[in-house]
């Protein structure tokens, strides 16, 4: 006959169980502290693509405007600072002229110090979904400055437009372009 002895049967003691739980807790906290920041970073490429779309689109809108308030809109007449023409707008006067809004901006420097969030963007064809839904947490800042000296020209012959897009994760992406008075 087989006789079982209580001395030889063995289970898990309370101390072993507590030590196991502590080891498991420590290992899980290490794993989550290492992987946690990676989850946040996985969205960065997606936000960078959206920021590139937004920055390029806004830059195209700005570059589609004329060089200066005092330049001809058709491009065939005198430009500002040419003989017989008005002088170009002083850099201290950059920004909207009077009560202009974004839709009525007619020259590049009207966008100086323009700031906005994703809610200001709409789909030009009025199709669904609204663009504002895609860019809701993005921020946009525009600066315009004379930059002709960077090219060895009269400083007022070139304007540098800088568009800074801030993603929802706080990353900042700069876009810059130059517009010449020629």
Is residue 59 in some structural domain?
Answer: yes
- On the question of pLDDT at 61 being above 70, the answer is yes
Is residue 115 in some structural domain?
Answer: yes
Residues in the chain: 182
Is residue 32 in some structural domain?
Answer: no
Is residue 9 in some structural domain?
Answer: no
For residues 127 and 77, which has the higher predicted lDDT (pLDDT)? 77
Is residue 25 in some structural domain?
Answer: no
The pLDDT mean for the chain works out to 82
For a pLDDT cut of 90, what percent of the chain falls above it?
Answer: 27
Number of domains in the chain: 1
Is residue 94 in some structural domain?
Answer: yes
Q: Of all helices (H) and strands (E), which one includes residue 47? A: helix 44-63
Confidence band for 84, pLDDT divided at 50, 70 and 90: confident
The pTM (predicted TM-score) of the whole model is 0.71
Q: Which residue has the tokens 């003691």?
A: 13
Containing domain of residue 124, as a range? 42-180
Is residue 3 in some structural domain?
Answer: no
Phi-psi region of 165 (alpha: psi -120 to 50; beta: other; left: phi over 0): beta
**Average pLDDT of 65-78?**
76
Contacts of 157 (CB under 8 A, 6+ apart): 81, 148, 180, 181, 182
């Amino acid at each position: 006959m087989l006789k079982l002895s209580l001395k030889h049967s063995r289970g898990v003691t309370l101390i072993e169980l507590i030590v196991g739980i502590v080891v498991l807790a420590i290992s899980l906290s290490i794993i989550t502290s290492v992987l946690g920041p990676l989850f946040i970073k996985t969205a960065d490429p997606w936000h960078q693509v959206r920021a590139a779309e937004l920055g390029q689109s806004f830059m195209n809108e700005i570059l589609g405007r004329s060089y200066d308030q005092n330049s001809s809109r058709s491009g065939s007449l005198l430009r500002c600072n040419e003989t017989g023409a008005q002088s170009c707008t002083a850099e201290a006067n950059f920004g909207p002229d009077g009560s202009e809004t974004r839709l009525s901006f007619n020259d590049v420097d009207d966008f100086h110090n323009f700031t906005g969030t994703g809610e200001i963007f709409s789909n030009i064809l009025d199709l669904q979904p609204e663009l504002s839904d895609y860019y809701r947490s993005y921020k946009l800042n525009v600066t315009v400055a004379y930059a002709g000296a960077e090219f060895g020209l009269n400083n007022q012959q070139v304007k540098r437009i800088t568009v800074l897009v801030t993603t929802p994760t706080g990353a900042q992406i700069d876009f810059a372009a130059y517009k010449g008075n020629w």
